[in-house]
């Protein structure tokens, strides 16, 4: 057991890092955070804080040498430094190899294709060839979906391209060009694995998106899908976590098509927005299970305690400045409302400032509470 006296380093101190620190506190673990922002969300909740870039080779190596094992809360880190640390004998989960295979969407898609995972057809533009030329040369039909291969998150770096005019607005970066999928539903499954190759999966969650910001707005668990689809998605998530050879969490996002098929959209080797409800609604939170996976302890039960809806608390349109939360008292007066504020000082339209999980005996009641909270609780300045 690695529970005693292990110094665990986390690359990244955003809200996921903060929630990992809170879970680690249950077992009195020593958590060291590396983040460029001295006011990051995790700053006040970790044992040690180091200010510096997790994208810089030397900084990551120095930080890694000061701890016993490393994990991440963001995949856009310098994996070469993690590779060097692993060679020096540090425990690194998820593995640097898997981070390399995941942080670039083009490389992710190639892995799906080579290993027979169902995913939408795509073309990968690596070099600095003009996008227009690439589209013409490959005879790609409109509409299609453009995705920056690196650095995108929460729908930033994704665009639906319907015309040549849309295409001209896009930056000329490495990207994938993907067939447009007629999506019936989007779901996600989180898998957890330890070094003994034990794997568990959480029940599927269903995601509902705000079209305007392309940012996850509401999410419900259980998902309104058949057992057959849920089991197919779970099998794919288990195969993926083993293919990547990941210890800790792997979140897998899927599209269910109007034709009834299931496609892998993308994966993330860390705690994920689609698992926040597990803090209140599951036997074991995703954060504790990530720690169990990387510490190689028995994995925690992923059983659902009660139906839940997750609402992302995003900055209100028209407000940019020091964050102010209005409607907290009214929202807190509703039973089963669990508010999580990430502690970001400044708000701007659509910035993820926190989340709220509502729990109830039925999913309908949890949804009603979430809609009430949505109209009551606002992030302004």
Binding residue for ligand ADP, selected from 67, 176, 181, 247, defined by CB under 6 A: 181
* CA 18 – CA 128 distance, rounded (Å): 37
Task: Please report whether residue 153 would count as binding ligand ADP according to CB under 6 A.
Answer: yes
Q: Is the dihedral of CA 47, 57, 249, 180 positive or negative?
A: positive
Beta carbons within 10 angstroms of residue 133's beta carbon: 10
Residue 124 or 153: the one with the smaller Cβ distance to ligand ADP is: 153
Residue 114 or 182: the one with the smaller Cβ distance to ligand ADP is: 182
Bridge partners (DSSP) listed for residue 51: 35
Contact 313, 374 (CB under 8 A): no
Task: Please report whether residue 206 would count as binding ligand ADP according to CB under 6 A.
Answer: no
Contact 191, 203 (CB under 8 A): no
Residue 153 or 325: the one with the smaller Cβ distance to ligand ADP is: 153
Listed ranges 3-11, 91-99, 124-132, 178-186: which one lies at the site for ligand ADP (CB under 6 A) = 178-186
Binding residue for ligand ADP, selected from 30, 166, 266, 320, defined by CB under 6 A: 266
Binding residue for ligand ADP, selected from 36, 52, 118, 155, defined by CB under 6 A: 155
Q: At what angle do helices 96-103 and 105-114 cross, to 10 degrees?
A: 100
Cα 245 to the center of its chain, rounded Å: 18
Cα 325 to the center of its chain, rounded Å: 24
Binding residue for ligand ADP, selected from 75, 186, 206, 230, defined by CB under 6 A: 186
Q: Measured from the CB of residue 178, what is the shortest distance to ligand ADP in angstroms?
A: 4
Q: Is the dihedral of CA 49, 50, 52, 57 positive or negative?
A: negative
* CA 124 – CA 191 distance, rounded (Å): 27
* CA 381 – CA 377 distance, rounded (Å): 13
Residue 14 or 157: the one with the smaller Cβ distance to ligand ADP is: 157
Q: Measured from the CB of residue 268, what is the shortest distance to ligand ADP in angstroms?
A: 8
Task: Please report whether residue 243 would count as binding ligand ADP according to CB under 6 A.
Answer: no
Binding residue for ligand ADP, selected from 214, 243, 257, 296, defined by CB under 6 A: 214
Question: Is the preceding peptide bond at 143 cis, omega within 30 degrees of 0?
Answer: yes
Binding residue for ligand ADP, selected from 84, 145, 213, 332, defined by CB under 6 A: 145
Task: Please report whether residue 158 would count as binding ligand ADP according to CB under 6 A.
Answer: yes
Task: Please report whether residue 380 would count as binding ligand ADP according to CB under 6 A.
Answer: no
Task: Please report whether residue 100 would count as binding ligand ADP according to CB under 6 A.
Answer: no
Q: Measured from the CB of residue 147, what is the shortest distance to ligand ADP in angstroms?
A: 6
Task: Please report whether residue 152 would count as binding ligand ADP according to CB under 6 A.
Answer: yes
**Residues 6 or more apart from 281 whose CB is under 8 A from it?**
221, 304, 305, 306, 307, 308, 357, 359
Bridge partners (DSSP) listed for residue 188: 205, 253
Tokens read off for 108: 């992710």
Task: Please report whether residue 104 would count as binding ligand ADP according to CB under 6 A.
Answer: no
Tokens read off for 237: 């998530």
* CA 93 – CA 90 distance, rounded (Å): 10
Per-residue contact track with ligand ADP, 41 to 80, x per CB under 6 A?
----------------------------------------
Task: Please report whether residue 120 would count as binding ligand ADP according to CB under 6 A.
Answer: yes
Q: Is the dihedral of CA 59, 63, 69, 71 positive or negative?
A: negative
Task: Please report whether residue 274 would count as binding ligand ADP according to CB under 6 A.
Answer: no
Tell me which residue has tokens 């949804």. 367
Q: Measured from the CB of residue 176, what is the shortest distance to ligand ADP in angstroms?
A: 9
Listed ranges 42-50, 84-92, 175-183, 296-304: which one lies at the site for ligand ADP (CB under 6 A) = 175-183
The DSSP bridge pattern shows strands 199-201 and 183-193 to be antiparallel
Tokens read off for 47: 């044992």
Q: Measured from the CB of residue 76, what is the shortest distance to ligand ADP in angstroms?
A: 11
Task: Please report whether residue 334 would count as binding ligand ADP according to CB under 6 A.
Answer: no
Task: Please report whether residue 273 would count as binding ligand ADP according to CB under 6 A.
Answer: no
Residues that bind ligand ADP (CB under 6 A): 120, 145, 147, 152-158, 178, 180-181, 183, 186, 209, 214, 253, 265-266
């Amino acid at each position: 057991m690695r529970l005693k006296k292990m110094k665990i380093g986390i690359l990244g101190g955003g809200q996921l890092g903060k929630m990992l620190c809170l879970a680690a506190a249950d077992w009195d673990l020593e958590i060291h955070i590396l983040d460029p922002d001295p006011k990051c969300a995790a700053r006040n909740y970790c044992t040690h804080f180091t200010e510096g870039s997790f994208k810089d080779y030397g900084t990551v190596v120095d930080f890694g040498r000061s701890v016993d094992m490393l994990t991440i809360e963001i995949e856009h880190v310098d994996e070469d430094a993690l590779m060097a640390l692993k060679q020096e004998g540090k425990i690194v989960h998820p593995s640097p190899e898997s981070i390399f295979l995941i942080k670039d969407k083009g490389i992710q898609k190639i892995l799906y294709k080579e290993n027979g995972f169902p995913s939408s057809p795509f073309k990968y533009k690596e070099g600095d060839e003009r996008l227009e030329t690439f589209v013409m040369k490959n005879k790609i039909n409109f509409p299609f979906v453009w995705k920056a291969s690196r650095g995108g998150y929460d729908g930033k770096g994704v665009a639906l391209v319907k015309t040549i005019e849309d295409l001209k607005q896009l930056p000329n970066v490495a990207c994938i060009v993907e067939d447009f999928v007629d999506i019936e539903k989007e779901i996600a499954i989180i898998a957890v694995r330890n070094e003994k190759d034990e794997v568990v999966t959480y029940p599927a969650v269903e995601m509902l998106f705000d079209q305007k910001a392309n940012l996850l707005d509401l999410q419900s668990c259980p998902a309104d899908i058949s057992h057959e689809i849920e089991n197919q998605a779970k099998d794919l998530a288990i195969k993926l976590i083993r293919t990547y050879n990941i210890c800790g969490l792997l979140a897998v996002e899927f599209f269910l098509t109007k034709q009834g098929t299931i496609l892998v959209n993308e994966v993330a080797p860390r705690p994920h927005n689609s698992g926040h409800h597990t803090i209140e609604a599951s036997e074991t939170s995703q954060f504790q299970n990530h720690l169990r996976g990387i510490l190689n302890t028995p994995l925690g039960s992923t059983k659902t305690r009660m139906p839940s809806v997750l609402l992302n608390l995003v900055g209100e349109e028209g407000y940019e400045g020091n964050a102010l939360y209005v409607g907290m008292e009214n929202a807190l007066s509703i039973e089963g409302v669990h508010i999580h504020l990430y502690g970001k000082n400044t708000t701007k339209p659509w910035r993820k400032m926190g989340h709220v999980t509502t729990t109830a005996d039925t999913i309908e009641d949890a949804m009603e509470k979430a809609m009430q909270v949505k109209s009551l609780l606002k992030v302004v300045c």
